[in-house]
Structure 1
Amino acid sequence: MTTFTIHDVTKTFTNGEVEEQVLNGINLTLQEGELTALVGASGSGKSTLLTIAAGLQRASDGQVQFEGNNLIAMTQEEIRKIRASKFGFVFQSAHLVPFLTVEDQLMLMLDVSESKMTKREQQAEVTKILNMVDMNHRKDAYPSSLSGGEKQRVAIARAIIHRPKILFADEPTASLDSKRSRDVMTLIRDLTKTLNITTLMVTHDEEMLSYADHIITMKDGLIV
Protein backbone atom coordinates (compact mmCIF):
# COMPACT_ATOMS: atom_id res chain seq x y z
CA MET A 1 0.00 0.00 0.00
CA THR A 2 1.32 3.44 -0.93
CA THR A 3 1.72 5.68 2.12
CA PHE A 4 3.95 8.51 0.98
CA THR A 5 4.35 10.23 -2.39
CA ILE A 6 6.81 12.92 -3.43
CA HIS A 7 5.80 14.61 -6.67
CA ASP A 8 7.91 17.02 -8.74
CA VAL A 9 9.67 18.44 -5.68
CA THR A 10 12.25 21.17 -6.21
CA LYS A 11 14.42 23.06 -3.75
CA THR A 12 16.35 26.23 -4.45
CA PHE A 13 18.65 28.01 -2.03
CA THR A 14 19.56 31.68 -2.45
CA ASN A 15 22.99 32.94 -1.42
CA GLY A 16 23.05 36.65 -2.06
CA GLU A 17 22.28 37.02 -5.76
CA VAL A 18 23.20 33.43 -6.56
CA GLU A 19 20.52 30.73 -6.72
CA GLU A 20 21.44 27.07 -6.36
CA GLN A 21 18.89 24.41 -7.27
CA VAL A 22 19.54 21.45 -4.99
CA LEU A 23 16.55 19.32 -6.04
CA ASN A 24 15.39 19.28 -9.65
CA GLY A 25 11.93 17.74 -9.80
CA ILE A 26 12.00 14.63 -7.59
CA ASN A 27 9.32 11.93 -7.88
CA LEU A 28 9.30 9.10 -5.36
CA THR A 29 6.72 6.70 -3.93
CA LEU A 30 7.21 4.84 -0.64
CA GLN A 31 5.35 1.71 0.43
CA GLU A 32 4.29 0.29 3.79
CA GLY A 33 6.62 -2.30 5.27
CA GLU A 34 9.52 -1.38 2.98
CA LEU A 35 12.91 0.22 3.58
CA THR A 36 14.09 2.63 0.89
CA ALA A 37 17.71 3.80 0.93
CA LEU A 38 18.85 7.11 -0.56
CA VAL A 39 22.48 7.10 -1.68
CA GLY A 40 24.72 9.50 -3.55
CA ALA A 41 27.80 11.65 -3.25
CA SER A 42 27.98 14.59 -0.87
CA GLY A 43 25.92 17.42 -2.35
CA SER A 44 23.70 15.11 -4.40
CA GLY A 45 20.58 16.30 -2.56
CA LYS A 46 19.74 13.16 -0.59
CA SER A 47 19.76 14.77 2.86
CA THR A 48 17.77 17.76 1.56
CA LEU A 49 15.18 15.37 0.15
CA LEU A 50 14.94 13.52 3.47
CA THR A 51 14.41 16.71 5.48
CA ILE A 52 11.75 17.95 3.05
CA ALA A 53 9.95 14.60 3.17
CA ALA A 54 10.06 14.75 6.97
CA GLY A 55 8.64 18.27 7.08
CA LEU A 56 11.82 19.69 8.60
CA GLN A 57 12.15 22.19 5.76
CA ARG A 58 9.89 23.27 2.92
CA ALA A 59 10.34 22.52 -0.75
CA SER A 60 10.36 25.40 -3.21
CA ASP A 61 7.72 23.65 -5.31
CA GLY A 62 5.96 20.31 -5.72
CA GLN A 63 3.97 18.08 -3.38
CA VAL A 64 4.72 15.78 -0.45
CA GLN A 65 1.57 13.71 -0.03
CA PHE A 66 0.88 11.86 3.23
CA GLU A 67 -2.55 10.56 4.23
CA GLY A 68 -4.26 12.85 1.74
CA ASN A 69 -2.41 15.98 2.84
CA ASN A 70 0.26 17.99 1.05
CA LEU A 71 2.87 18.80 3.71
CA ILE A 72 4.20 21.70 1.65
CA ALA A 73 0.82 23.48 1.87
CA MET A 74 0.35 22.92 5.62
CA THR A 75 1.11 25.33 8.45
CA GLN A 76 4.10 24.79 10.72
CA GLU A 77 1.80 23.77 13.57
CA GLU A 78 -0.01 21.22 11.41
CA ILE A 79 3.32 19.75 10.30
CA ARG A 80 4.58 19.69 13.90
CA LYS A 81 1.58 17.61 14.98
CA ILE A 82 2.16 15.12 12.16
CA ARG A 83 5.86 14.85 13.00
CA ALA A 84 5.04 14.23 16.66
CA SER A 85 2.36 11.60 16.08
CA LYS A 86 3.03 9.96 12.70
CA PHE A 87 6.78 10.29 12.03
CA GLY A 88 9.79 8.76 13.77
CA PHE A 89 13.39 9.96 13.47
CA VAL A 90 16.78 8.29 13.86
CA PHE A 91 19.93 10.33 13.28
CA GLN A 92 23.67 9.70 13.18
CA SER A 93 23.89 10.70 16.84
CA ALA A 94 21.40 9.23 19.31
CA HIS A 95 20.63 12.64 20.90
CA LEU A 96 19.46 11.05 24.16
CA VAL A 97 18.53 13.28 27.09
CA PRO A 98 21.51 12.83 29.47
CA PHE A 99 19.54 13.06 32.75
CA LEU A 100 16.80 10.57 31.76
CA THR A 101 16.95 6.80 32.07
CA VAL A 102 16.35 4.59 29.05
CA GLU A 103 12.78 3.97 30.19
CA ASP A 104 12.13 7.67 30.77
CA GLN A 105 13.44 8.57 27.28
CA LEU A 106 10.59 6.52 25.80
CA MET A 107 7.99 7.75 28.28
CA LEU A 108 8.88 11.32 27.32
CA MET A 109 8.36 10.50 23.64
CA LEU A 110 4.89 9.15 24.40
CA ASP A 111 4.06 12.41 26.17
CA VAL A 112 5.37 14.48 23.24
CA SER A 113 3.29 12.43 20.78
CA GLU A 114 0.20 13.14 22.92
CA SER A 115 -0.42 9.45 23.53
CA LYS A 116 -3.94 8.58 24.70
CA MET A 117 -2.68 5.62 26.74
CA THR A 118 -2.81 5.52 30.52
CA LYS A 119 0.50 5.53 32.42
CA ARG A 120 0.19 1.79 33.01
CA GLU A 121 -0.42 1.20 29.30
CA GLN A 122 2.53 3.44 28.45
CA GLN A 123 4.83 1.49 30.76
CA ALA A 124 3.67 -1.79 29.21
CA GLU A 125 4.34 -0.41 25.73
CA VAL A 126 7.81 0.80 26.77
CA THR A 127 8.65 -2.67 28.07
CA LYS A 128 7.41 -4.24 24.84
CA ILE A 129 9.45 -1.94 22.61
CA LEU A 130 12.59 -2.24 24.74
CA ASN A 131 12.31 -6.01 24.47
CA MET A 132 12.06 -5.67 20.70
CA VAL A 133 15.37 -3.79 20.59
CA ASP A 134 16.94 -6.03 23.29
CA MET A 135 17.39 -3.16 25.76
CA ASN A 136 14.84 -3.85 28.51
CA HIS A 137 17.62 -5.09 30.79
CA ARG A 138 19.09 -1.57 30.58
CA LYS A 139 15.86 0.34 31.18
CA ASP A 140 17.17 2.01 34.36
CA ALA A 141 20.52 3.01 32.80
CA TYR A 142 21.52 6.57 31.90
CA PRO A 143 23.02 7.43 28.48
CA SER A 144 26.51 7.95 29.96
CA SER A 145 26.72 4.24 30.81
CA LEU A 146 25.61 2.99 27.38
CA SER A 147 27.81 1.97 24.48
CA GLY A 148 27.39 3.61 21.07
CA GLY A 149 25.40 0.65 19.77
CA GLU A 150 23.18 0.62 22.86
CA LYS A 151 22.49 4.35 22.53
CA GLN A 152 21.41 3.88 18.92
CA ARG A 153 19.13 1.00 19.92
CA VAL A 154 17.48 3.26 22.47
CA ALA A 155 17.19 6.00 19.83
CA ILE A 156 15.45 3.53 17.52
CA ALA A 157 13.12 2.44 20.33
CA ARG A 158 12.29 6.09 21.04
CA ALA A 159 11.59 6.67 17.33
CA ILE A 160 9.03 3.85 17.13
CA ILE A 161 7.47 3.88 20.62
CA HIS A 162 4.47 5.89 19.36
CA ARG A 163 4.05 3.49 16.38
CA PRO A 164 4.77 6.01 13.60
CA LYS A 165 3.68 5.48 10.03
CA ILE A 166 6.99 6.76 8.61
CA LEU A 167 10.52 6.29 9.96
CA PHE A 168 13.21 8.67 8.72
CA ALA A 169 16.80 7.53 9.30
CA ASP A 170 19.65 9.91 8.46
CA GLU A 171 23.01 8.08 8.43
CA PRO A 172 21.94 5.87 11.38
CA THR A 173 25.17 3.81 11.35
CA ALA A 174 27.72 6.52 10.53
CA SER A 175 29.13 6.68 14.07
CA LEU A 176 29.25 2.89 14.63
CA ASP A 177 31.79 0.20 13.83
CA SER A 178 30.94 -2.41 11.21
CA LYS A 179 29.48 -5.02 13.59
CA ARG A 180 27.28 -2.56 15.43
CA SER A 181 26.27 -1.06 12.07
CA ARG A 182 25.05 -4.46 10.90
CA ASP A 183 23.20 -5.00 14.17
CA VAL A 184 21.46 -1.63 13.89
CA MET A 185 20.53 -2.18 10.25
CA THR A 186 19.15 -5.64 11.01
CA LEU A 187 17.04 -4.05 13.74
CA ILE A 188 15.74 -1.26 11.49
CA ARG A 189 14.92 -3.71 8.71
CA ASP A 190 13.16 -6.13 11.05
CA LEU A 191 11.12 -3.40 12.76
CA THR A 192 10.11 -2.01 9.36
CA LYS A 193 8.63 -5.41 8.52
CA THR A 194 7.24 -6.33 11.94
CA LEU A 195 5.51 -2.99 12.57
CA ASN A 196 4.70 -2.38 8.87
CA ILE A 197 6.49 0.99 8.90
CA THR A 198 7.52 2.95 5.81
CA THR A 199 11.25 3.67 6.25
CA LEU A 200 13.30 6.20 4.30
CA MET A 201 17.04 6.13 5.05
CA VAL A 202 20.01 8.18 3.89
CA THR A 203 23.34 6.33 3.95
CA HIS A 204 26.81 6.63 2.45
CA ASP A 205 27.79 3.09 3.48
CA GLU A 206 27.33 0.69 0.57
CA GLU A 207 27.46 -2.29 2.93
CA MET A 208 24.15 -1.16 4.43
CA LEU A 209 22.34 -1.24 1.09
CA SER A 210 21.79 -5.00 1.29
CA TYR A 211 19.23 -4.36 4.03
CA ALA A 212 17.07 -2.13 1.81
CA ASP A 213 14.09 -3.16 -0.31
CA HIS A 214 14.76 -0.29 -2.71
CA ILE A 215 17.90 1.73 -3.46
CA ILE A 216 17.51 5.25 -4.88
CA THR A 217 20.68 6.85 -6.22
CA MET A 218 20.85 10.63 -6.44
CA LYS A 219 23.21 12.87 -8.40
CA ASP A 220 23.07 16.65 -8.84
CA GLY A 221 19.58 16.89 -7.37
CA LEU A 222 18.12 14.16 -9.56
CA ILE A 223 17.23 10.50 -9.15
CA VAL A 224 19.40 8.48 -11.52
Structure 2
Amino acid sequence: MSVIAINELKKRFTNGEVEEEILKGINLELQPREITALVGASGSGKSTLLTIAAGLQPSSEGSIVFNGQDLTQMNSEEIRKIRAKDFGFVFQSSHLVPFLTVEEQLYLMLEVAGKHLSKVELQKEVRELLQRVGMEHRKNAYPSSLSGGERQRVAIARAIVHRPKILFADEPTASLDSLKSKDVMKLIRELTTSFNITTLIVTHDREMLDYVDNIITMKDGFIQSN
Protein backbone atom coordinates (compact mmCIF):
# COMPACT_ATOMS: atom_id res chain seq x y z
CA MET A 1 0.00 0.00 0.00
CA SER A 2 1.42 3.38 -1.00
CA VAL A 3 2.36 5.98 1.60
CA ILE A 4 1.34 8.83 -0.65
CA ALA A 5 -0.60 8.79 -3.94
CA ILE A 6 -0.43 11.68 -6.41
CA ASN A 7 -3.26 11.72 -8.95
CA GLU A 8 -3.59 13.86 -12.11
CA LEU A 9 -1.57 16.64 -10.48
CA LYS A 10 -1.31 19.89 -12.43
CA LYS A 11 0.36 23.19 -11.68
CA ARG A 12 -0.11 26.41 -13.62
CA PHE A 13 1.56 29.80 -13.24
CA THR A 14 0.50 33.08 -14.79
CA ASN A 15 3.27 35.25 -16.23
CA GLY A 16 1.65 38.50 -17.22
CA GLU A 17 -1.08 37.51 -19.66
CA VAL A 18 0.49 34.14 -20.40
CA GLU A 19 -0.49 31.03 -18.44
CA GLU A 20 2.19 28.35 -18.26
CA GLU A 21 1.51 24.77 -17.17
CA ILE A 22 4.47 23.39 -15.22
CA LEU A 23 2.99 20.02 -14.27
CA LYS A 24 0.67 18.33 -16.77
CA GLY A 25 -1.18 15.54 -15.03
CA ILE A 26 1.28 13.68 -12.80
CA ASN A 27 0.40 10.26 -11.39
CA LEU A 28 2.81 8.77 -8.87
CA GLU A 29 2.73 6.49 -5.82
CA LEU A 30 5.48 6.27 -3.20
CA GLN A 31 5.99 2.98 -1.39
CA PRO A 32 7.14 2.36 2.21
CA ARG A 33 10.89 2.20 2.84
CA GLU A 34 11.75 3.10 -0.73
CA ILE A 35 13.72 5.98 -2.21
CA THR A 36 12.24 7.47 -5.36
CA ALA A 37 14.41 9.86 -7.37
CA LEU A 38 13.05 12.57 -9.65
CA VAL A 39 15.46 13.36 -12.46
CA GLY A 40 15.32 15.52 -15.56
CA ALA A 41 16.57 18.75 -17.07
CA SER A 42 16.12 22.10 -15.36
CA GLY A 43 12.56 23.26 -15.89
CA SER A 44 11.17 19.74 -16.21
CA GLY A 45 8.99 20.24 -13.12
CA LYS A 46 10.70 17.89 -10.66
CA SER A 47 11.28 20.41 -7.85
CA THR A 48 7.76 21.80 -8.34
CA LEU A 49 6.38 18.29 -7.97
CA LEU A 50 8.36 17.69 -4.79
CA THR A 51 7.33 20.96 -3.14
CA ILE A 52 3.64 20.43 -3.98
CA ALA A 53 3.73 16.84 -2.69
CA ALA A 54 5.31 18.16 0.50
CA GLY A 55 2.59 20.75 1.02
CA LEU A 56 4.95 23.68 0.49
CA GLN A 57 2.92 25.15 -2.36
CA PRO A 58 -0.59 24.47 -3.72
CA SER A 59 -1.48 22.57 -6.86
CA SER A 60 -3.83 23.83 -9.56
CA GLU A 61 -5.62 20.50 -10.05
CA GLY A 62 -5.41 16.92 -8.86
CA SER A 63 -5.10 15.20 -5.51
CA ILE A 64 -2.35 14.18 -3.07
CA VAL A 65 -3.60 11.44 -0.77
CA PHE A 66 -1.60 10.84 2.41
CA ASN A 67 -2.89 8.68 5.26
CA GLY A 68 -6.29 8.62 3.58
CA GLN A 69 -6.47 12.42 3.49
CA ASP A 70 -6.29 14.66 0.42
CA LEU A 71 -3.77 17.40 1.13
CA THR A 72 -5.20 19.53 -1.67
CA GLN A 73 -8.47 19.85 0.26
CA MET A 74 -6.85 21.01 3.51
CA ASN A 75 -6.33 24.53 4.77
CA SER A 76 -2.84 25.91 5.49
CA GLU A 77 -2.96 25.14 9.23
CA GLU A 78 -3.98 21.52 8.65
CA ILE A 79 -1.15 21.08 6.17
CA ARG A 80 1.33 22.76 8.52
CA LYS A 81 0.51 20.24 11.25
CA ILE A 82 1.08 17.32 8.88
CA ARG A 83 4.39 18.80 7.69
CA ALA A 84 5.56 19.22 11.28
CA LYS A 85 4.54 15.74 12.42
CA ASP A 86 4.84 13.43 9.41
CA PHE A 87 7.23 15.08 6.91
CA GLY A 88 10.96 15.74 7.01
CA PHE A 89 12.90 18.06 4.71
CA VAL A 90 16.48 18.27 3.43
CA PHE A 91 17.56 20.84 0.86
CA GLN A 92 20.72 21.79 -1.04
CA SER A 93 21.57 24.20 1.75
CA SER A 94 21.38 22.75 5.26
CA HIS A 95 19.36 25.74 6.59
CA LEU A 96 20.69 25.13 10.10
CA VAL A 97 19.90 27.78 12.70
CA PRO A 98 23.24 29.62 13.11
CA PHE A 99 22.91 30.30 16.85
CA LEU A 100 21.96 26.74 17.84
CA THR A 101 24.41 23.92 18.49
CA VAL A 102 24.17 20.62 16.63
CA GLU A 103 22.12 18.94 19.36
CA GLU A 104 19.93 22.02 19.84
CA GLN A 105 18.95 21.82 16.16
CA LEU A 106 17.42 18.40 16.85
CA TYR A 107 15.72 19.45 20.09
CA LEU A 108 14.06 22.31 18.20
CA MET A 109 12.68 19.91 15.58
CA LEU A 110 11.26 17.64 18.27
CA GLU A 111 9.54 20.65 19.83
CA VAL A 112 8.10 21.77 16.49
CA ALA A 113 6.81 18.25 15.82
CA GLY A 114 5.09 18.21 19.21
CA LYS A 115 6.91 15.13 20.53
CA HIS A 116 5.87 14.67 24.15
CA LEU A 117 8.88 12.92 25.68
CA SER A 118 10.59 13.23 29.03
CA LYS A 119 13.91 15.05 29.21
CA VAL A 120 15.72 11.74 29.53
CA GLU A 121 13.91 10.33 26.50
CA LEU A 122 14.66 13.44 24.44
CA GLN A 123 18.35 13.26 25.31
CA LYS A 124 18.43 9.57 24.41
CA GLU A 125 16.72 10.15 21.04
CA VAL A 126 19.07 12.97 20.10
CA ARG A 127 22.24 11.26 21.33
CA GLU A 128 21.50 8.00 19.52
CA LEU A 129 20.63 9.68 16.25
CA LEU A 130 23.74 11.88 16.31
CA GLN A 131 25.80 8.75 16.86
CA ARG A 132 24.02 7.13 13.93
CA VAL A 133 24.94 9.96 11.56
CA GLY A 134 28.47 10.26 12.92
CA MET A 135 28.02 13.67 14.54
CA GLU A 136 27.77 12.91 18.27
CA HIS A 137 31.31 14.19 18.79
CA ARG A 138 30.25 17.58 17.36
CA LYS A 139 27.04 17.91 19.38
CA ASN A 140 28.14 21.20 20.97
CA ALA A 141 29.44 22.74 17.74
CA TYR A 142 27.74 25.59 15.89
CA PRO A 143 27.02 25.41 12.13
CA SER A 144 29.76 27.90 11.26
CA SER A 145 32.42 25.45 12.48
CA LEU A 146 31.11 22.49 10.47
CA SER A 147 32.15 21.35 7.00
CA GLY A 148 29.56 21.14 4.22
CA GLY A 149 29.27 17.39 4.63
CA GLU A 150 28.87 17.69 8.39
CA ARG A 151 26.14 20.30 8.00
CA GLN A 152 24.19 18.00 5.69
CA ARG A 153 24.54 15.12 8.15
CA VAL A 154 23.07 17.33 10.86
CA ALA A 155 20.33 18.48 8.48
CA ILE A 156 19.42 14.86 7.76
CA ALA A 157 19.37 14.02 11.46
CA ARG A 158 17.16 17.03 12.15
CA ALA A 159 14.82 16.02 9.31
CA ILE A 160 14.17 12.54 10.75
CA VAL A 161 14.60 12.96 14.51
CA HIS A 162 10.80 13.12 14.94
CA ARG A 163 10.40 9.90 12.90
CA PRO A 164 8.51 11.29 9.89
CA LYS A 165 6.71 9.03 7.45
CA ILE A 166 8.14 10.81 4.40
CA LEU A 167 11.49 12.51 3.78
CA PHE A 168 11.58 15.10 0.99
CA ALA A 169 15.09 15.88 -0.25
CA ASP A 170 15.68 18.53 -2.93
CA GLU A 171 19.22 18.30 -4.34
CA PRO A 172 20.73 17.33 -0.95
CA THR A 173 24.19 16.65 -2.44
CA ALA A 174 24.40 19.49 -4.97
CA SER A 175 26.84 21.57 -2.91
CA LEU A 176 29.10 18.64 -1.97
CA ASP A 177 32.03 16.96 -3.70
CA SER A 178 31.57 13.44 -5.06
CA LEU A 179 32.96 11.63 -2.03
CA LYS A 180 30.82 13.54 0.47
CA SER A 181 27.81 13.19 -1.84
CA LYS A 182 28.13 9.42 -1.75
CA ASP A 183 28.45 9.47 2.04
CA VAL A 184 25.25 11.52 2.33
CA MET A 185 23.34 9.24 -0.04
CA LYS A 186 24.54 6.14 1.80
CA LEU A 187 23.26 7.71 5.00
CA ILE A 188 19.87 8.53 3.46
CA ARG A 189 19.68 4.96 2.13
CA GLU A 190 20.44 3.45 5.54
CA LEU A 191 18.04 5.67 7.47
CA THR A 192 15.21 5.24 4.94
CA THR A 193 15.33 1.50 5.49
CA SER A 194 16.00 1.29 9.21
CA PHE A 195 13.53 4.04 10.23
CA ASN A 196 10.75 2.87 7.85
CA ILE A 197 10.78 6.18 5.98
CA THR A 198 9.61 6.81 2.43
CA THR A 199 11.96 9.18 0.60
CA LEU A 200 11.36 11.40 -2.43
CA ILE A 201 14.53 13.00 -3.75
CA VAL A 202 15.32 15.43 -6.57
CA THR A 203 18.81 15.09 -8.01
CA HIS A 204 20.86 16.04 -11.07
CA ASP A 205 23.68 13.70 -10.06
CA ARG A 206 23.41 10.38 -11.88
CA GLU A 207 25.95 8.79 -9.52
CA MET A 208 23.45 9.16 -6.69
CA LEU A 209 20.97 6.92 -8.49
CA ASP A 210 22.91 3.84 -7.37
CA TYR A 211 21.33 4.37 -3.94
CA VAL A 212 17.65 4.66 -4.94
CA ASP A 213 14.88 2.13 -5.60
CA ASN A 214 12.92 3.96 -8.29
CA ILE A 215 13.93 6.51 -10.91
CA ILE A 216 11.27 8.85 -12.32
CA THR A 217 12.40 10.84 -15.36
CA MET A 218 10.53 14.08 -15.98
CA LYS A 219 10.41 16.18 -19.13
CA ASP A 220 8.34 19.29 -19.84
CA GLY A 221 5.96 18.67 -16.93
CA PHE A 222 5.33 15.02 -17.71
CA ILE A 223 6.67 11.78 -16.30
CA GLN A 224 8.65 10.48 -19.25
CA SER A 225 9.44 7.05 -17.84
CA ASN A 226 9.37 5.09 -14.60
Common topology (TM > 0.5): yes
Q: Which residue of 1 aligns with 2:36?
A: 36
Q: Distance in 2 between matches of 1:22 and 1:2?
A: 25
Q: Distance in 2 between matches of 1:204 and 1:14?
A: 27
Is residue 2:16 matched to residue 1:16? yes
Give me the TM-score of the superposition, normalised by structure 2. 0.98
| Aligned-pair CA distance for 1:147 | 0.6
Q: Distance in 1 between matches of 2:128 and 2:184?
A: 18
Q: Deviations over 1:101-151 (max 9, x none)?
A: 101000011011111112221111001111110111111111111110000
Q: Distance in 2 between matches of 1:194 and 1:54?
A: 22
Is residue 2:64 matched to residue 1:64? yes
Which residues of 2 match residues 72-111 of structure 1 at below 5 A? Answer: 72-111=72-111
Q: Which residue of 2 aligns with 1:147?
A: 147
| Aligned-pair CA distance for 1:198 | 0.4
Is residue 2:59 matched to residue 1:47? no
Is residue 2:160 matched to residue 1:174? no
Q: Distance in 1 between matches of 2:221 and 2:178?
A: 29
Q: Distance in 2 between matches of 1:158 and 1:73?
A: 28
Q: Which residue of 2 aligns with 1:124?
A: 124
| Aligned-pair CA distance for 1:2 | 1.3
Q: Distance in 2 between matches of 1:2 and 1:11?
A: 23
Segments of structure 2 that go 5 or more residues without pairing to the other structure are: none
Q: Give the SS at the match of 1:187.
A: helix
Aligned partner letter, 2:166: I
Aligned residues: 224
Alignment root-mean-square deviation, CA: 0.6
Q: Deviations over 1:73-111 (max 9, x none)?
A: 100000000000000000000011111110100001101
Give me the TM-score of the superposition, normalised by structure 1. 0.99
Identity of aligned residues (%): 69
